[in-house]
Chains A and B, each alone.
Chain A
Amino acid sequence: MRYILNRMVQFSRTRLDASFAALSDATRRGVLEQLGRADASITDLAEKFHMTLTGMKKHVGVLEQAGLVTTEKVGRVRTCKLGQRRLEEEVAWIERYRQLWASRFDELDKVVEELKRKEKVDGRKN
């Protein structure tokens, strides 16, 4: 598990920049706090923070870009929730995927080394 967490730290560099930018705004921090208590629609959030729908949509968009929030539209209502869990699953999956290919490529190295040696021997014969 620590292994995966280490990888997450490395992976997050780009995302972290986006996260810090997203968190630099008091309203967006408030939205995260609010979503930590319960999922909410954009309309709910706009009312709560005394903002227009358009303004709140922008804030949620920034949080979504940073992977901090996910949204889902059901009918005419767009519901927002904290995005961290899905992100962790994705990071863990990509790490498994990377390990799968790294294992294959380590074996491929052996095949490649053998072909190189064979080429050398064949080259000397000619």
Chain B
Amino acid sequence: MDARIESEPNPLKNLTTAERKSERELLVTRTFNAPARIVFDAWTKPELLLRWWAPKSFGVSFLSCELDVRVGGKYRFVFAHPASEQPMAFFGRYLEVTPHSRLVWTNEEGGDGGAVTTVTFAEKDGKTLLVMHDLYPSKEALDDAIASGSTGGTWETFEQLDVLLVDLGASVGRS
């Protein structure tokens, strides 16, 4: 199981890779041209996170973004989408918080099938390699997420996510 995909070479943007690392794992990697403390801040301060988590091309907008970044602390993101009357929510708890190097949280909106996400920030020569690892409870849970069009962070309504992905696909196709 090694479905690995890399983005087009682009001198301006760093490569984002995604792969299914195993039956239960997804891995996303990306390098940022900044020290780990800066990248970590952007993941842990709500006023910064809401500026990048839902890009315009997604067609969704934040209704609220609450982060209590400490072990056991909760987070909750709520989005609006023009195609949906009901808002969409992501929520869960932080299991580990190591400043500037490691975050672990649960994804609980999908019930028992949700992944545990680990993000590590490794700084080298002023750049930060970010590795995001989603571990699903079983092969079936990840297969189901793929089959239903979910994106690891599972959504309350898969249908709404499909809309999101179609929008995203369309905007990628245009560019």
Using a CB–CB distance below 8 Å, which chain A residues touch chain B? Answer: 3, 7, 10-11, 13-15, 89-91, 93-113, 115-116, 119
Contact = CB atoms under 8 A, between A and B. Distances in A.
A15 B16 CA distance: 20
Interface in B137-170: 146-147, 149, 151-152, 165, 168-169
Contact of A91 (B3, B28, B42, B168): B3
A99 B2 CA distance: 18
A11 B38 contact: no
B120 to A, nearest CB: 15
7 contacts: A10-B5, A13-B4, A90-B146, A94-B19, A97-B26, A112-B38, A112-B39
Interface residues on B, range: 35 or more
Nearest to A1: B173
A124 B51 CA distance: 26
Contacts, number: 110
A94 B39 contact: no
A54 B151 CA distance: 39
B2 A111 contact: no
B20 A99 contact: no
Contacts of A110: 51-52
A115 B146 contact: no
B125 interface: no
A113 B33 CA distance: 8
A113 B39 CA distance: 10
B101 to A, nearest CB: 16
Nearest to A115: B38
B5 A107 contact: no
Contacts of A111: 42, 48, 51-52
A95 to B, nearest CB: 5
B55 A97 contact: no
Contacts of B58: 100, 103
B5 A7 contact: yes
Given A104-B55, A105-B30, A107-B51, A11 B146 contact: no
